[in-house]
Amino acid sequence: MPGTPLAGQVALVTGAAKRIGRSIALRLASEGADIVINYENSKSDAEEVVAKITASGRRAAAMQGDVSKKADVTKLFAAIEKQFSRLDILVNNAGTFFAADFETLTEEQWDRIMNTNLKAQFLCAQAAIPLLRRSPSPQSHIVNISSLGGILAWPAFTHYCVSKAGVIHLTKCLARGLAPKILVNSVAPGTIQFPGEAPDDDYIKRTPVHRTGTGEDIADAVAFFVKSNFVTGQILAVDGGRMVAQ
C-alpha cells in the first residue's frame, strides 16, 4: 500500500501501553505494521492502544508479561508466533527510572533497574532471534531504547546510567553478531515529557532547541531505523542537542 512501508510486517513493542512505548506502537502502525502491545500491569491502557490501532485497519494484540522474567518472555514469543506467524521488528522499550543516592542504594533497587532496563532487553532479543531470522523481509530489526543517561554521567541516577550504558553496548555487540539479516540500533532519548507534566526548566534552558522531547520525537527515530536496511550498530541521541551543550 502506498505510504505504508511496513505493510505486512509485525512489530513487538515492549512496555507499549503508555508514554514512549505507546507513541512508538501508534507510529509503527501508521507506517503499516501490525503491532503486539506488551504490557505488565496496564491492561486497560494496552487495550486502548489496541483499539486505536485496529480502528486504523491494522491488526494488534495486547499481551501481558514481565519481560524481565524468562518464563514470561518465552510465553510472549510463543503467543506471537501462534497469532501472527512472524516477527519483523522488536522494539525493546520497557524500562524504569528513579533517582537514588549511590551510597544508600539498595541491592533490591540495583537489581530492579538492571532487570527491567537491561536483562529484559537481553531476554527479548534472544527469544526474538529465531522469528526475526525467518522474517520474509530482506532485513529484520531490533531497536533498543537506551538513554542519554547511558552516555552522560548523572550521579543521582548511577544505577540507571549503568543499565542504559549496558543497553548501548548490548546493541553494538548484537549488531555485529546478528548481521546481515538482523539490524540492531538504539535510540537514546533525552528528557521526554508528556501533557500534564511540569516542564523541566533546567533541561529546556540548557538544550539548544529549548524544549524537552515528545513521544513522537522518539517514535520518529524508531521509524527511521526500522525502515533503513543499511544502518546497524548506531546509537541515535534524540535530545534536542543536549549532549553538545555541556
Active site residues: 160
- What is each CA distance from 46 to 14, 35, 38, 56, 243, in whole angstroms? 11, 11, 8, 16, 33
Question: Look-up: residue for cell 542504594?
Answer: 105
Question: Look-up: residue for cell 524500562?
Answer: 95
φ, ψ dihedrals at 36, nearest 5°: -100, 120
CB 233 within 8 A of CB 172: yes
Contacts of 111 (CB under 8 A, 6+ apart): none
E strand spans, the chain: 10-13, 34-39, 60-64, 89-92, 140-145, 182-189, 235-238
- Helices then strands (H, E): number in the chain? 8, 7
